[in-house]
Chains A and B, each alone.
Chain A
Amino acid sequence: MTLPGKISGRVWKLGDHVNTDALHPSVFFSLDEKRVREGVIEGMGRLGANFITESSHEKLVIVAGQNFGCGSSRETSVRGLRNFGVKAIVAASFARIFFRSLTNLGVPTFECREIQNRARDGELIDILTKEGFIELPNARRFPFSPLDPHVKKILEAGGLIPYLQRERKGEKDGI
C-alpha cells in the first residue's frame, strides 16, 4: 500500500482522547489475527459504531478529536484497525506513539480541526491527498495540515519497513 491520491470510506466518528485500551482492550492482545479482530469489534461496541457490522468489509475512515490513540503502545490496536479496513484517520491531533505506529504500518493520518463537528457517522468521506483537502457530501471541504516530508516518504513506501528496505537499497546503489 502506498499513499493513494484519493482515499474514500465511510466515517466512523469518535471523540477526544480515545485511548488504545478502549479501541482494543488488552485482553485481546494476541499474535492471532482473528483474536485481534475480535478486539477491534469489542472496542467498536464499547465506543459505539452502530452502522458497522461484524461481517463488514467496508472501507472506513475514522474521524476523531484531540489526542487520538493515547495510552498504551501495543501495536495490535493499529494492526487490528488496519486489517479491519480503516484506510485513514482524520483527527484534530494524534497521540505520538499511535501516530508513529499508524504511519509505520502505512495508514495515513491527517490533522484537521474543523471536521470533527461536521462529519456524521456512516457518511461517505473522500480525502484528496495531493490537493490537500477532505470532502464530505454536499461539497463540504476541509483542508488538512500538510504532511511532513519524512512522514510522507514512509507512507509512499508503504510503511517503515519498506522505507528501511528502500534506505538500504539506496545505500547499496550509492544514492
Chain B
Amino acid sequence: MYRFWGLLFLAVPVVGTLIYLLAMLGIAPFQGLGLPPNYNEAGVEIDHLYNLIHVIMAVVFVATGLMLGGLIWKYGARQELGARYFTHSNLLELTWSVAAAGILVFLSLYQLNSWAENKLERPQVEIAGRTEPQPPLAKVVAKRFGWEFYHAGPDGRLDTPDDVYVENVLRVPHGEPVVLQLESRDVIHSFFVPGLRLKQDVVPGMQHFVWFKATSPVELEIICSELCGWGHYTMQGRMQLVSRADYDRWLSEQSPWKQFAAEGEQE
C-alpha cells in the first residue's frame, strides 16, 4: 500500500507537467490550451514572462513533488526501522530561504519594465514642439451591457462636435501606438482584449487610459471581464484592426455624432 500512495503522489508532478508540456507544444488532445495568439507588441514581453515563470514553477513543482512522492515511497515502507530523530538544521533553512528569496527578487525586478510599458509609460507625441502624452484615438464608454465607442474626429480631440459614434465595433489602426480612454456609465466593467493581452477595469467616475501597438490586421473580441449584472455574459464587442489609410478613409465617411453636431450648430 505504501508503494501505491508513493506512486499516487509521484504522479502529481509527472502527469501535471506532462499535460502542460503537451498543451504548450499543441499536441492532441491538449492542443489549444495555451495562451491565445498575441497581436500586441507589448504582449510579447508578457508572454515571455508567463513562460519564464512557468519554467520556474515547473522546476520547483517537479522537484518538490518528486521529493514528496519519493519520501512516501521510501519512508512509508520503513516500518521495521525506527524514525531518525532530528529537529532542525539552520544551514538548510538558510540555504533554501536565500535561494527562494533570490528567485523572487529576480522575478520582482525582471517584470518591472513590462509593467511600466503597459500601465505607466503612456506613448508620447510631439505637439507644437512640445512632448505630450498621446491623445486618445477614441473614448470607450461601458454600460450595462454593451460598449459605446466615440472616435475623435478630424480635429483629433474628444468631446468635440466632430466626434464619431459607433456601437459594439471599434476600428483601430494597427502598426502604431493607439491610446484609448475608458469610462463607465453605471457600474464597474472591465475592458478585456485577450488577443492584445490588455485588461483594464472601467470604474464609474474615473477616466482610464490604455495603450497598445497592434501588429496585424485582425478582428479581435472585446469582453467585459468584471461582473456587471445579469447580462454580464452578453457584454462584448469587436475590435477591427485596420491600416491607417483604411482607418482615415472610414473615419472621413462617417457623419459626426448627431447630438454633438446639434450642439455645435446652436453655438
Partners in one complex: no
